[in-house]
Structure 1
Amino acid sequence: MAIVTDNILMQLVRGTLGKQLTIYERNGQIIMAAKRGPSTKKPTQKQLEARHKMTIASARAQRLMADPEIKAYYESLAGPGQNAYNMAVKDAYRSPEVQNIRLEGEDVVVTAKNEFRVAEVEVKVIDAEGVITESGQAVLGRNRIDWHYKATALPAGGKVIVVAENLPENQTVKELLLT
């Protein structure tokens, strides 16, 4: 790979020359590289899983780009050489992280993070028999990381299930056993 500078001919040429050389532009720089061909190796299981995950992320990102507000949000986060779609794919590739669930009296406080933003957090309270006694949306706190849910009762022997979701609708589920 070579980066071309101060060559008027290369300023105008893009594409593949024969079957040997490719000339393209990335981040304002002109790059010459040997033409790559398709791999002759069979993809590994991890590669196939990553490709499948990327296909899903791409489809979710395309759906997000249809909403002008969300597109503007991702556009505001894009750096040099990036665009809103790149940011949306990056967001759709990863799920939010539920770092902590803690109880403060009858309040359930959930610490959830995402590289971009957590869209919503749902809290379900389940009794010892496995019946959902209540559920609802948590409210984002002032620190923009903690989500608060006011439970009416937290039954002993039950559990609290938390579902954090980001803009592309990736979900992370975590539970806390009540003692």
Structure 2
Amino acid sequence: MAIVKDNILMQLVRGSLGKQITIYERNGQIIMAKKRGPSKKKPTQKQLEARHKMAIASMRAHMMLEDPQIKAYYQSLAGPGQNAYNMAVKDAYRSPEVQNIRLEKEEVVVTAQNEFRVAEVEVRVIDAEGVITESGRAFLGRNGVDWYYKAAALPAGGKVIVVAKSLPGNSTIKELLLT
């Protein structure tokens, strides 16, 4: 590996020269190195899981981009050098985060966020015996982060289960025990 300094020609060149040399920039420095080939090591379990997760995210992105409105939404979020597909894969790779569940009288307030947007929040109220007494969709509040669900009753000893879903369909489940 060689670090190139004060060379006008190399300031403009990036990429590979045949199968011998690769020229790239890292942390503001231009680097010339021997071209790397594919790894001969077996992938680890974590690498295989990451590849599988990326393959699923890619498939979901392709399906979502068939809808012109969703494609326009992702395109509006794309920065320089990015496109709607890049944004859709990024969204499909991550699940939304349920940050907080709180009770305000007979209302369940869920704080859920995603880098892009949370598509829906479903709330299930379960009694002490484990029977679902009610369930339904929460409604997004004005702040764009809190979701509100008006419960008929919140039985003591039961629990509230919240499922937050992103646009691609990733979901996160969180529960709150009722005392």
Q: Provide the rounded CA distance (Å) in 1 between the counterparts of 2:152 and 2:164.
A: 21
1:20 aligns with 2:48: no
Q: Provide the rounded CA distance (Å) in 2 between the counterparts of 1:32 and 1:61.
A: 35
RMSD of aligned C-alpha atoms? 2.3
Residue number in structure 2 paired with 1:80: 80
Q: Provide the rounded CA distance (Å) in 2 between the counterparts of 1:148 and 1:58.
A: 32
Q: Percent identity?
A: 79
Residue number in structure 1 paired with 2:174: 174
Name the SS for the 1:100 alignment partner.
strand
Q: TM-score scaled by structure 1?
A: 0.84
Aligned length: 167
Residue number in structure 1 paired with 2:103: 103
User: Residues 59-74 of structure 1 correspond to what in structure 2 (within 5 A)?
Assistant: 59-74=59-74
**Post-superposition shift, 1:21?**
4.4
Q: Which amino acid aligns with 1:125?
A: V
Q: Provide the rounded CA distance (Å) in 2 between the counterparts of 1:19 and 1:45.
A: 30
Residue number in structure 2 paired with 1:131: 131
**Post-superposition shift, 1:151?**
0.4
Q: Provide the rounded CA distance (Å) in 1 between the counterparts of 2:58 and 2:166.
A: 15
Residue number in structure 2 paired with 1:28: none
Residue number in structure 2 paired with 1:149: 149
**Post-superposition shift, 1:17?**
4.9
Query: After TM superposition, which residue ranges in structure 1, 4 or more long, deviate above 4 angstroms?
Result: 14-17, 21-24, 31-34
Residue number in structure 2 paired with 1:119: 119
* Deviation digits for residues 14-69 of structure 1 (CA, Å, limit 9, x no counterpart): 98654224689xxxxxx987543111111111111111111111111111111111
The 3 A distance-change label for structure 1 pair 174 and 62 is same
Q: Provide the rounded CA distance (Å) in 1 between the counterparts of 2:124 and 2:75.
A: 34
Unaligned 5+ runs, structure 1: 25-30
Q: Which amino acid aligns with 1:75?
A: Q
User: Residues 2-21 of structure 1 correspond to what in structure 2 (within 5 A)?
Assistant: 17-21=17-21
Residue number in structure 1 paired with 2:159: 159
